[in-house]
Structure 1
Amino acid sequence: MIRNMLPKSLLAVSICTVLSAPAIANQATSAFEFHGYFRAGAFASSENDFNQAIFFGQKETLGRLGLEGDDFYELAFMQRWDWKDSGDSIRINARLGQDNPKGGASAMGGYSIDGIPTGLLESFVEFDGITSSGTFWGGQRYYGRDNYIFMTDFFYTDYSGTGLGVQNLKAGGGEWDFAYIASNQNSQGAIGSPSEPGKPDGCDTDDDVECSVGNNGMLHAFHVRADYDAWRAEVMLKHLPTNTHGDDYSTSGVEAHVSYSPGSFFGLGDGFSTTSVQLGQGLGSGTMLGRTFTNYNIYSPGGANDAYNMTRVKDGDVTVRAQAYGGLFVGDWLFFPAVGYEYTSYDDQLNGNDDTDYWYAMVRPVYTMPSIDNFSLASEFGVTDQKHNDGDAQYKATIAPTWSMPTGFGPAPEIRLMASYVSDANGDDDVIVGAQVDMWW
């Protein structure tokens, strides 16, 4: 019996070996990646006897140097498997980040060595090989945040949420993105606000739909983007089943964005540049232009300061935003300017006004000081003003000696000393001094 079983066993082993040979030859390689970002700084106000200074100017218009009183961190992890022969790939992504809204102002500006609340920002998977080209993805993620001005830390499109889509699909000589994104209009108010903006005025009960939506108010967004060389064009359609402000307010919207990035400083010299124009109506206007419901978008320029008021827009409201920004490299000097203008026309008056607008201009000159290794002298100047602010323009001037150690692999951690003069719309001014570390990897 044993002699009869032995040849059969050997045959079975041989067959399994032959069948598994292609799989072994095309066995996936795996890798783990760890990326992240953090900034931490301490800023003191001379007008407040050098006590802590928080939110003393809007960095997205005046420039970020010297104005980032909110510490922040993100830790991103990715596990990937790649098949060389087929070109297939699987990537599992997760990102943890500082949960500022839950921690309130103390989390955004606390300098003590205490625990800071952490939240899950991203959890999504990517597949290469499902579609003929590009990447198929699904889950909760940052999306559309590559339209970004780093000097002001302004994401002028941020379509983050939960959904699925395809990125970098090659078609017609260009690369295309398609996505469905859902995001929730939560009841979180402005940081430090005692109000409950998640319920409309006059809501003392949850019997009505408008009074009970709360955290269930879901925005459905459909996005299409096309990149052709230096040109980018994208469109987003939005639908909100229930607007908690009532029937007079919009439940749908559309927006479009076109940008041009020539790979030089507006064709004038070495560097980079982008010119961008956005247009939106209904839920694509006002605070909602370029945005879904995220904590960041609440506080971005033209923001409503809480998620509830982001949808205080009507079907006939129209907003246009135009921006130009870039970097110019001249010898030992680097110049990073940005200018922008946003205008909104209201279908009906808002706070007694038919329209509103704001504009800004800023520049960051940096002298690299080649005579001193790993040291540069940065400065930054910004001005912004808006219609109906009943005041003067806001100004900022910053000087920032900076130490940086390039790694040779991209990341270059920076440690800065900073002093800023800030003047607000009411004519009040202050001198802010501090130190900051800023790092990505």
Structure 2
Amino acid sequence: MVPTPNPDVAPRRRDKTHYLYLAVIVAVVLGIIVGFAAPDFAKDLKSLGTGFVNLIKMMISPIIFCTIVLGIGSVAKAAKVGKVGLLALGYFLVMSTFALAIGLVVGNLLHPGSGLHLSPADAASAHKQATGSEGSVDFLLGIIPKTLVSAFTEGEVLQTLLVALLAGFALQKLGAKGDPIRRGIEHIQRLVFRILAMIMWAAPIGAFGAIAAVVGSTGWGALRSLLVIMLGFYATCLIFVFGVLGTVLWLGARVSIFKLLKYLGREFLLILSTSSSESALPRLIAKMEHLGVSKPVVGITVPTGYSFNLDGTAIYLTMATLFIASAQDKPLGLGEQISLLLFMIIAAKGAAGVSGAGIATLAGGLQSHRPELVDGVGFILGIDRFMSEARALTNFAGNAVATVLIGSWTKEFDRDRSELVFAGQAPFDEATLLDEHEPEPAKE
């Protein structure tokens, strides 16, 4: 018997991002073939990658403004719930620092990108613009825009960040009166991310041009460097999840990381197929409550963690930045690495699960600190999709661990219940539990 469709329920849209994933893979393979078969012709394809990077750069200012303004609002909201919110935010800050530190250590040990000697056409002029003869006072004064909107029109990322911070704190002070403005910015953010999603469909063209040009110039050295950073990134994520998160989870809650990850196995498969931890958000909320963490703790920790606990993204931004700098023979000093990556982590808040947000954040950070390195983003684009799964899986694992830890520290975690769940004596009821947490269908 064929069930009758309910006219009140909007049909779910089929996710088409996996087509983009496949297209990028095909484009990378074709770029490698063209790079080896016709190196002179391949070098001329560099403009395809540069064009895509310019499209991403176009979106940097609006993305940073919207995410920072709304992110500050999320921090204020989380802090208002008292002990749980403050504890969660403090934990997220510490773990993000750990993720940055591990990424820095591994990146500096591996030296990914060394020996490629990439030299973008506009590197000299960009470098002159970046360094110039300005002192620290002139640099700080340059962060202040001429007008409130000139930061957006001139593409100055640090100026945009300053305006976003001021707007975010002002929105906090408005309280309930600022809700219409907040909702308006949320609508603008949806529009901005929709535009970014459209731009990402040009990623195969950009990846093809960038990879072809680099392989045509450097040959097997490019493939070796790409393999080094990919394997290094995956290894770093594994070390972080099982070494750092596993140790903290056992010391803080006496819970095995292996049991927890096994319990969330279906969610990891879902993330692996979509390259986004956002797809498993409703399931994580439901499963954490089923595991024995109280509903208030889950309701505060999980959504906040999705914006502020991006461990995988921190590792990715660290290693990608070091890779791009090394590939262009412009290594970063330790001070530059820390300041640049802290900026990137701040700029990434609120953009979790959005396709292309990682590339946009990477380009934005380089544009703000070392503009001469931005063109290198086109090269990393070819393997970004390969690393997005590890990034999303690490973010998801970090949020699951955080939820159990916060529940244990606030005595809102039923350990006896969790043992029954891990032992399979209290199976997760998909039909009843997920119905409570599935988001309403989008109406467009």
- Structure having greater relative contact order (Cα 8 Å, sep ≥ 6): 2
Whether TM exceeds 0.5 here: the answer is no
Q: TM-score, normalised by structure 1?
A: 0.22
Structure with greater proportional helix content = 2
Q: TM-score, normalised by structure 2?
A: 0.22
| Higher radius of gyration, 1 or 2 | 1
Structure with greater proportional strand content = 1
